Every structure is written in structure tokens, then in C-alpha cells.
């Protein structure tokens, strides 16, 4: 039986960057050809999603693709840049 919807509470916030990359690669196969809802702590997990919904204090504040949200320079962009700097250091 093929699962059509996947709900995942992503738990890579406490793993190192290398392990996170292995996890993301494995999850990429899981997400293929199905609707996936991902609660993400590391935004790199959802970077390739069709639609990203940003919730702040229980309210949807932004919605769009990674590229669109980066261009808006709002909450998502700020958080993504903060996390990206952490990966570079």
C-alpha cells in the first residue's frame, strides 16, 4: 500500500550537519510522489518543498516557495540566513 500523505515532525535540530545531510537524503525518497507536512526546526529540511508555510506565535505570517520567501526578506529569510551562517562557521 502506497502512503499518500506523510506527516513528519523533523527532529534534526540536535544532530550535526553531516548527519542532517544523510537524513535529508533518505527523507527525499520518502517525500517523493506524496503530500508531506513537515514541522521543521532546520529550514534546510524544507528548502525544496513546493510550499512553505511560516507560522509565528500560532499565526501564518508567510507562505510560498523557498525562493519566493527569500525574495520577500521577511521572517523566513531572516531565520534561513541565521541558520545558514551557523552551517558556514
pLDDT in tens, 17-34: 788 778 778 877 778 888
Range of the domain at 12: 5-88
Exposure string for 63-75, b = 16+ CB within 10 A, e = fewer: ebebeebeeeeee
The CA distance from 89 to 84, in Å, is 9
The CA distance from 61 to 75, in Å, is 8
Q: Which residue has the cell 502506497?
A: 2
In what helix (H) or strand (E) does residue 24 lie, and over which residues does it extend?
helix 17-31
Q: How many domains does the chain have?
A: 1
Among the residues of 32-89, which ranges form H helices? 66-72, 75-88
C-alpha cell recorded at residue 46: 524544507
Tens of pLDDT, residue by residue over 48-82, are 889 999 999 999 999 999 999 999 999 999 999 98
CATH of residue 61: 3.40.50.300
Amino acid at each position: 500500500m502506497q502512503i499518500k500523505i506523510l506527516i513528519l515532525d523533523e527532529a534534526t535540530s540536535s544532530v550535526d550537519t553531516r548527519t542532517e545531510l544523510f537524513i535529508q537524503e533518505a527523507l527525499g525518497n520518502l517525500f517523493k510522489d506524496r503530500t508531506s507536512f513537515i514541522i521543521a526546526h532546520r529550514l534546510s529540511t524544507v528548502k525544496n518543498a513546493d510550499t512553505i508555510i511560516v507560522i509565528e506565535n500560532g499565526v501564518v505570517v508567510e507562505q510560498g516557495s523557498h525562493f519566493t520567501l527569500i525574495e520577500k526578506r521577511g521572517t523566513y529569510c531572516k531565520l534561513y540566513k541565521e541558520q545558514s551562517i551557523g552551517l558556514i562557521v
